[in-house]
Chains A and B, each alone.
Chain A
Amino acid sequence: MLKIENNLMNKKEIYWISQFTGWFAFSLVNIVIIASFNKMTLIKIPMFILLSLLGIFFTHIYRYIIIKQKWSSLSIYKLIIRSFIACILIATVIFFLLMPFELLIGDFKISQFNVGVLLVNVFNFSMVLLIWSLMYFTVHFFENKQVVQIESLIWEAAVKDFELKTLKSQLNPHFMFNALNSIRALVDEDPQKAQTAITQLSNILRYSLRIERIETVPLEDEIKTITDYLALESIRFEERLESKIEIDPKLAKTEIPPLMVQTLVENGIKHGISKRTIGGVILINAFPKDDNVIIQIRNSGRYDEQSLKDATGFGVQNTKQRLSLLYGENASFKLKNEENEIVLAELIIPNGGTIR
């Protein structure tokens, strides 16, 4: 918003510069034309200076009225009528104010005055003022359009920001409370394991609070959180959950959207392993390919394309929307069934690619 105000300050300067240069240029052109046809009397120059000053003065009042009465919000038809009337009025006033001066310098004699002279002069002045009006409203129109455009850009950015915030994965409360419940049971059974679990849970909590303020995190941070997460889930699932993580060390610092991989791991457990009474495996690997990073999450289970199209597809939709908001067309996500009862979730993200 500050930028727009700065613009407004400049606008005032531009207005005055245009007023002076416009009117004096007008006078100058007149002087040059008259001088090339007639013998130029020096005495005419002050008259044109006076004309320019009167022009600036009255158009400034004219502009004041335009702004005060909010002419910019009038319909084009009403605007044209009002401008015409205003211009004719101003032209008449200028003519009568200029006349005594012309009489004084002897450029004009009272005996020469008739209705014809009045009409020709008023018509000429009106034309100049109408051109002024046309320029004023044109500039105003484009400026307005720009302000509207800037506003809509600001608005769009805010909407995008909001969307990203709501899409941003959050820690699943179901997981949190189940973990706390398991830990409470461990306090009696295996105090040391309980201590480790509390540390792991704190790490996850701290991570989830930290990411509320940032767009991306290094892959290694996300993997650290996933490791803690899987350790806690294996307290819950015991022998039913088996996991393996393989990350190319070159990718440690690669920036990725936070909790995105974690959410996919969580979904793999929720929809895959936790549905199976015999449990299953979860495999995570990440490797570079061309300019991209490929992150694959495999879990035991089978996904039902139909049910994905219904309400349960939320996680998938969410991931896709987040990727497209962050990377446009440069990132992708897919989910597919592989052989041997394995579901693959694959993320392709530009490596070191700039976030939009």
Chain B
Amino acid sequence: MKALIIDDERLARVELRRLLTPYKEVDIVGEAVNADDAKEKIEELKPDLIFLDIQMPGKTGFELLEELDGVPDVIFTTAYDEYALKAFEYNAMDYLLKPIEPKRLEDTIRKISLRYKNESEAAGTDSSLPSSVLTELDQVFVKDGEKCWFVKLINVRLFESEGNYVRIFFDENKPLILRTLNYLEERLDPKTFFRASRKHIINLKWIDNIEPWLNGGLLVKLKGGNKVEVSRRQAVKFKEKLSL
């Protein structure tokens, strides 16, 4: 598991590195001192896991996550501001309080490496895709007002364009993210996600049924209740894709 440590304090990084030495499964590939530095290093080193300090000069840890397309596994490290983590639903993320308790670090590392192992088995060894593509196993970070989520793309059934924003639908939630639909279309794995129309990208795994619609288009019903029209032009591509 490749890990990146992100903290503005040198001593905090030294300390975390020291605490992580017994864990052979965690390979520390680098350190970053602020959000911009971290963004570059994440894109370059592609860590599976980041240790992220929330309070940093310039941008906060949350702001960094919002800027990333796909987000690695995150372990927040913080001295006190647990309240910042209240934004997440209960147990929806991992965090460590500084000074870090070795036992707690052990539990967290164990939990994450188990999850990592299961996921890499499930994903198989599909190396045909360039790594900039977001597959259904990737997750994104979404912040909507006071609430935060790590959302696995497999759970996102629909992306809907709203100006410069895109509304993403998962579970009972439909927050906005600052991305355009065209940008997402380039990033998302075409095996799972399909551009149904000018306004929509759908997750093929969430299709419930398909009906013929006006002008040779189609009406796709998704599990969870959303209905999306597929234009005639896109319907041809859609049929091709499904017959594959």
Mark A residues whose CB is within 8 Å of B.
Answer: 173-178, 180-182, 184-186, 188-189, 235-238, 240, 274-277, 279
CB pair B79–A275 under 8 Å, yes or no, is no
Known: A177-B97, A181-B98, A277-B34. A236 touches B11 (CB 8 A): yes
Interface string of B18-35 (1 = CB under 8 A from A): 100000000000000110
8 more contacts with CB within 8 A, not counting A188-B18, A277-B34, are A173-B79, A174-B55, A178-B9, A181-B99, A188-B14, A236-B9, A277-B33, A277-B57
Interface residue B81 (Cβ < 8 Å from any Cβ of A):
yes
CB pair A275–B11 under 8 Å, yes or no, is no
Known: A181-B12, A185-B11, A188-B18. A174 touches B99 (CB 8 A): no
Interface residue B15 (Cβ < 8 Å from any Cβ of A):
yes
Show 17 A/B contacts (Cβ-Cβ < 8 Å), sorted by A.
Answer: A174-B79, A175-B79, A177-B97, A177-B98, A177-B99, A178-B98, A180-B98, A181-B9, A181-B15, A184-B15, A184-B99, A236-B9, A237-B9, A275-B57, A276-B57, A277-B33, A279-B57
* Among A180, A188, A238, A275, residue most surrounded by chain B Cβ atoms (within 10 Å): A275
> How many B residues face the partner with a CB closer than 8 A?
20
- Chain B residues, CB < 8 A from A275: 57-58
* B79–chain A nearest beta-carbon distance, Å: 4
Interface residue B10 (Cβ < 8 Å from any Cβ of A):
yes
CB pair A185–B55 under 8 Å, yes or no, is no
* A280–chain B nearest beta-carbon distance, Å: 10
* B87–chain A nearest beta-carbon distance, Å: 15
- Chain B residues, CB < 8 A from A274: 8, 55, 57
Task: Out of B10, B55, B57, B80, name the residue touching A238 (CB < 8 Å).
Answer: B10
- Chain B residues, CB < 8 A from A238: 10
* B13–chain A nearest beta-carbon distance, Å: 9
CB pair B12–A182 under 8 Å, yes or no, is yes
Bound state CA distance, A173 and B78, in angstroms? Answer: 11
Task: Out of B9, B34, B55, B97, name the residue touching A182 (CB < 8 Å).
Answer: B9
* Among A184, A186, A274, residue most surrounded by chain B Cβ atoms (within 10 Å): A184
- Chain A residues, CB < 8 A from B98: 177-178, 180-181
CB pair B57–A185 under 8 Å, yes or no, is no
Bound state CA distance, A279 and B10, in angstroms? Answer: 14
Closest B residue to A276 by CB, please name it: B57
Closest A residue to B99 by CB, please name it: A181
Closest A residue to B60 by CB, please name it: A275
* Among B8, B12, B57, B81, residue most surrounded by chain A Cβ atoms (within 10 Å): B57
CB pair A185–B58 under 8 Å, yes or no, is no
Bound state CA distance, A174 and B9, in angstroms? Answer: 14
A-B contact count (CB 8 A): 62
CB pair A186–B57 under 8 Å, yes or no, is no
* Among A176, A178, A186, A240, residue most surrounded by chain B Cβ atoms (within 10 Å): A178
- Chain B residues, CB < 8 A from A181: 9, 11-12, 15, 79, 98-100
CB pair B80–A185 under 8 Å, yes or no, is no
- Chain A residues, CB < 8 A from B12: 178, 181-182, 185
Identify which of residues 197-234 in chain B touch chain A, using a CB-to-CB cut-off of 8 Å. Answer: none
Bound state CA distance, A59 and B10, in angstroms? Answer: 87
Bound state CA distance, A174 and B14, in angstroms? Answer: 19
Known: A274-B57, A276-B57, A277-B57. A182 touches B79 (CB 8 A): no
- Chain A residues, CB < 8 A from B8: 274
Closest B residue to A274 by CB, please name it: B57
CB pair A174–B10 under 8 Å, yes or no, is no
CB pair B15–A174 under 8 Å, yes or no, is no
* B63–chain A nearest beta-carbon distance, Å: 12
Bound state CA distance, A321 and B174, in angstroms? Answer: 42
Bound state CA distance, A66 and B100, in angstroms? Answer: 71
- Chain A residues, CB < 8 A from B57: 240, 274-277, 279
- Chain A residues, CB < 8 A from B100: 181
CB pair A185–B14 under 8 Å, yes or no, is yes
Closest B residue to A180 by CB, please name it: B99
Closest A residue to B34 by CB, please name it: A277
- Chain A residues, CB < 8 A from B79: 173-178, 181
Identify which of residues 73-102 in chain B touch chain A, using a CB-to-CB cut-off of 8 Å. Answer: 79-81, 97-100
Bound state CA distance, A272 and B74, in angstroms? Answer: 28
- Chain B residues, CB < 8 A from A175: 79
Bound state CA distance, A178 and B15, in angstroms? Answer: 12
CB pair A185–B18 under 8 Å, yes or no, is yes
Known: A177-B80, A238-B10. A277 touches B58 (CB 8 A): yes
- Chain B residues, CB < 8 A from A276: 57-58
Bound state CA distance, A338 and B8, in angstroms? Answer: 27
Task: Out of B11, B33, B34, B81, name the residue touching A174 (CB < 8 Å).
Answer: B81
Closest A residue to B35 by CB, please name it: A277
* Among B8, B9, B58, B81, residue most surrounded by chain A Cβ atoms (within 10 Å): B9
- Chain A residues, CB < 8 A from B18: 185, 188
CB pair A235–B11 under 8 Å, yes or no, is yes
- Chain A residues, CB < 8 A from B58: 275-277
* B151–chain A nearest beta-carbon distance, Å: 28
Bound state CA distance, A235 and B15, in angstroms? Answer: 14
* B15–chain A nearest beta-carbon distance, Å: 4
Closest B residue to A175 by CB, please name it: B79
- Chain B residues, CB < 8 A from A279: 57
* B5–chain A nearest beta-carbon distance, Å: 13
